[in-house]
Each structure stands twice: as structure tokens, then as C-alpha cells.
Structure 1
Amino acid sequence: MVVKPRKSSTKNPPILSHEFVIQNHADIVSCVAMVFVVGLMFQTTQPLASIFIAMHHNATPVEELTYGQEMTYTTGLKDLCAVFFYTLIGVVVHAVIQEYILDKVKTKLHLSKVKQSKFNESGQLLLFYVVAVLWGGDVIFREGLLFNVSALWRDYPNIAMTFMFKFFFIVQMAYWLHCYPELYFQKVKREDMPARITYATIYLVTIAAAYVMNFTRLALCLLVLHYAAETVFHVARLIHFADKPSVAIKAFSVWNILFVVTRLASIILSVSTFWFGLADNESVSFVVRVSGLAAVVALQVYMLQRFPDLPLEPTP
């Protein structure tokens, strides 16, 4: 898909200049991504291209698959290639959303430059959170985790993932990784960078650690809970930018409740998994259990400490 460059000036910038790259970054990145897609069409390059696009590390041997049986996957180094490719896709999708949705809405609202940056941030995150909650909720339902807490630690560490389960985590890591180049592409102000880098890094490191350590079921539930609360937050934030103060106050009030409930629910699920569920599992050491629990609890406490200072900033 070709994305129209932003019309920041009437004069075309020099090729390969910073302004040229920023204006045309979506087209440039989409061309790079298309190289991998085209590679699938030729027999000689198909094996290499598929490493970046397809899911790998099958847990179910192909010869043992029966009719109707779903392929399952584990983790491995080839996942880094997939994360790289879908990071490219994330940059392109980000530009499409910005060009065809957010810029049009932003023009009608007549926002100041400061509010425009925050509006863009919340708009992008809101769409991502909505998709992630619906996708993650569907995986939770299909994996039977909704009413079965013990499934969070069952069979650990031999936890195989279905295609959509694994793809969910690949996309999660790719999304938060794509946030770094977007700081350059979106010309984010220097003073706004530390906060964005901080929460993107916390998301990326936490999700990657859970993925590598095979705590994907717990991480999935915690992410869906957190993203659901953050969805309400960014809805309230966008309403605030739309100059609807009375509605925004009510939306923020709902988020205040959901924020605290989500923190408590996250701690309860983590204690149930790390302290009780895995207590008799000889394949996981006490150090790993305590470290995992401490990391989750510390993150929840960190967010609770920042809670009074939030009202218009996204939380990690």
C-alpha cells in the first residue's frame, strides 16, 4: 500500500535527507517489506523469506498431524526474524492509520500542536489496545483459560502455542519495537521522548521475558486485563482533547476504578501462578518463581505510585 507523504512544505526535500526519509518513510519501509513477500514467490528464495513471515519452531511434527489437528509451536531464535518483519509492517500500518484516520479527525478538532502530539499517541494506542483485547480475549477463550485458573501453569514449561497464540506475542513485541523508530518518523519532541521510550521499553522487555521463559499464558491474561483498562483511559483522553469535559470526567472516573481493579487482579493471578501453582513443579526453580512474582508485583506497585500523577499520560 502506498501512503501519501505529509505535505509539510511546498518544496521537495533532497533525496535521502532527513525530511525526505520522514515524509516517505512508510513507502520506503513498505518496499523493504515487499522484498520478503516477493521472496515467497520464488523457489530459491522461499525458504529464506518464510523465516521472516511464517511462524516456526513447530512443537507438532508435520508427519504426526491428523486431519483437523491444529499445529502448535514453541519459541526459538527464528522468532527474531518474524519480529523484525512485523515491526516493518507495524511502521506501515502506523502511517496508514495516521494518514487516513487520525489526521482527518485532528483537522476537524483544530487542536494545538501540543495536543496534536498527544492525540496522535492516544489514537494509535487506542486502536492497538482494542485489537489486542479482542484478539487476546479470543485466544483466552480458545485456550480454555477463562474459567480455569490452573491452566495458567499446567504442563509448564512444555507449553505449546497455537498459531494465533504465538502470532499474538510476535505482534506484541513487533508493535512495541516499532515505537522506537516512530519517535524519529513522527518528529516527537525531545522532552516527550523519555516517557515514550520508558513505557515502550517496559512493555517490550516484559513481554519478551514472559515469551522466552514460557510464561505466555499468564502474560496473555495480564496483557488483556491491562489493555482493557488502558482502552478506557485513551477513550477518556481523546474525549478530553475533543473538548467534552463532562463526558471526559465520567470516562476518567471509570478508568480510575478499572486501573486499581486491574492492578489487584494482576497481583492475584501472579501470586496464584508463581507462588502456589508452580510450587510443586520441579522444572522451575524457586529463584525463577520468586523473580517472576517480584517483577510483576514491582511493576504493579510502580504503576500505582504513578497513578495520582497520571491523568493525561499513558501507563506502561
Structure 2
Amino acid sequence: MYSNKTPMERLTPEILINLAMHLDVPSVFQLSLANKHFSKLFSDELLCRQLVERDYGINYKHPDETYAGLLHLLYTGAIRPSRYLSAVPDEVTDAKRAVYRASLAHKETANCDLCKTNPAEYLNMDPADNTLVCSSCAQENKQRYAVLFSLSSEGLYTFMEDGSKHKLGDDSADRNEVHKVKGITESLTSNDTINDLDRRRRAEHQLYIQELRREDMSLKHYLIEKTWGRSWMLFRTREGSPLPGRITNQKLARSNGTLDPNIRLPMDKYRPAPETHADIVSEKLWSYLEKAYGVQGRAYSEDDMQTPEYVRLRVYMDDYKKSIHSYP
């Protein structure tokens, strides 16, 4: 049967949308103005969502906003929501929530994880990184720490290329960004005491599993006194077990505060060693434990084993790191 439709007009909506995905937004917009058949392109939610994420790096919106409306606002330059927020989930991890609450409890002693001297002012909102940083270190590493939560004002910030600080979700922001910021902030600061402990228990056990699977032995490793390590194990694995107190390493120290060279350490990462005085953990896990629980006294790492009197402990540590190659 004869049809006066052009070949393009005879394409099904599915094929047309698939073709449009290979065009940039201005081209899709121009195509949608060609005729009534193509005008539906700029109103298709699935296509508009994919274009918003691909061309503008935005994966969030206000509940009352459509992706078609959001795409039009972005295309016309009416709004400029932060694309950095797209990397931050609405529901923060339980481990990050634990670090935030511990930083409030130990506000006077919480220092920047990078410079180790300045007070910590911000919590990195990257879901895989719970670093606490000061303003100076945040400015120097603005690409690495794109979205930061202020421990004092409880707002989200990003540092611009010129070094200035910009508050996300402020009065000048559009409603999509405001809604996203509000959701993240409420998720981090909510006080759900009934479920928090169980969620933290599960989150920390997952961190421990990740530690067991970690094969990067180039990281610096730290020592945790066995008694505290056992208390942490009970908290992770037994429902109803109390939260451990601050990490104490007194049994690993001599009277002058230096590491005791006569302690025993595990020589195998995967084999239990109950007769030892300490557990060995990577710098990544230690960084979380230090922030979440605090440390009473000194922290000891392999850096404390450099003099000749620590040759035996150095052998323990080297054997521990090499033990991952003994298992398939």
C-alpha cells in the first residue's frame, strides 16, 4: 500500500529513540522540531534521562520534575545543578555515618587524615572514601574530594578551580540540587538509634571481609592489640554484643611508650593465631577504625620496626605480607 510517509517517519518509536541516542542534545532538539512525528523525541522520559546523564552528568532530579523538563532546562541553560552530586548516593553508607558521628564525639582530637596536624573540617562524601580533611588539604586536592560535608555547618561544599568554596544546595541552586543535597544531609545526620547499631555491625563486618580479600600488600600495615580486636570481632559477628570502646594498644608498648620488640605477631593473613599479642590490618581499615573508635595512646605500624631490635617483628610482618601467595 502506498504511503506518503518518508522512510524516517516510518521508523518505529523504539528505533527512532535508539538512533537519537547517537546524537547530541542540540541535534535531538532540532530533529524534534522537524515535524509532529519527531516532536515526541523530546518528551520521551527514557531518552531524556539517558541524555541528561550522558551529556550533563546529572543522575538526580526533584520528584516533581520530569527528565524531559529537566533536559529542556539544562539545554537552555536555565539551571546548572552540580554534576559532582551525581557521584554521591542518596543513602550514605553506614560506615560513613559511623565516621561522622565519631568525629562529632571526638571533635577536639579529630585531625585531618592528610596533613595529620590541622583539625578535620570536612568529611569526603565519596561512597568508597571516608577521609576527613582540613580546608587547606581540601583546596589542594579539590579533584579528589569533589563533594565535602562540613562538620561544623552540616552543609555540602565543593572547592572551585580558583580555590573558593561553594555551598551546594544554597538559595541560588535549583530545586533539583536542593532536593539532592537535602536527601544526602538527612541520610548522614539522621538519628535512627534503633537500627543504627545493627546497620553499623553489618557495615563493619563487610569492611572486614574486604580486608580479608585485599591483596595489595604495598599499603602500610598497623597493629591492633589482640583484646580490642577480639571485642571488635564479637561486635561484628554476634548480635547484641556491645560496641567496643577506644582502641588501646598499651599491651604492645614498653614503659617508655615505644613498641615492645618482644611481642608476637601473626605470620599468616588467613590462619588464626590466638597466641599472638596483636592483629595486623592495612592502612585502609586502620584509617576507618581510628576515626570510628578513636585511639587511646599511640598507634603502632611497621614504621616503628625500622631499628635493629625489631628484626624479629620485621620478619613477622614480611611473612604476613607474603602469605597471600600461599593460597590459590
Structure (1 or 2) with the larger CA radius of gyration: 2
Relative to the length of structure 2, the TM-score reads 0.23
Higher relative contact order (CA 8 A, sep 6+): 1
Whose helix fraction is larger, Structure 1's or Structure 2's?
A: 1
